[in-house]
Amino acid sequence: MFGIGKKRSTFGKFLDRNSITQEELSKRSGVNRNSISRLTKSNENRPSMKNAQKIIKALKKVGYNVDYDDFWSM
């Protein structure tokens, strides 16, 4: 089970709902798994613009209609 007993960010909850693993997203996007893990823990963490673009691009390529503002506010 994903995220049981852990605090999750909006991004982390999205990954859990859609059964996307951090490892899978890391491979698809080219973003380090540790960076993705940090982003799933708290809404206070924000990715660099470069990493955010990679993550969003990878999710869109798989078929999710997502945008930066869905997970992180500017």
The total of other beta-carbon atoms located within 10 Å of residue 42's CB is 13
Write out the chain's pLDDT in tens, 74 residues: 555 677 889 999 999 999 999 999 999 999 999 999 999 998 898 999 999 999 999 999 999 999 999 998 87
The alpha carbons of the chain give a radius of gyration, in whole angstroms, of 11
C-beta separation of 64 from 28 below 8 A: no
In this prediction, residue 6 carries a pLDDT of 74
CA angle, residues 61, 64, 69, in degrees to nearest 5: 105
CATH topology of domain 10-71: 434 Repressor (Amino-terminal Domain) (1.10.260)
- End-to-end, the C-alpha distance of the chain in Å comes to 31
pLDDT given for residue 73 in this prediction: 81
Q: What is the pTM of this model?
A: 0.87
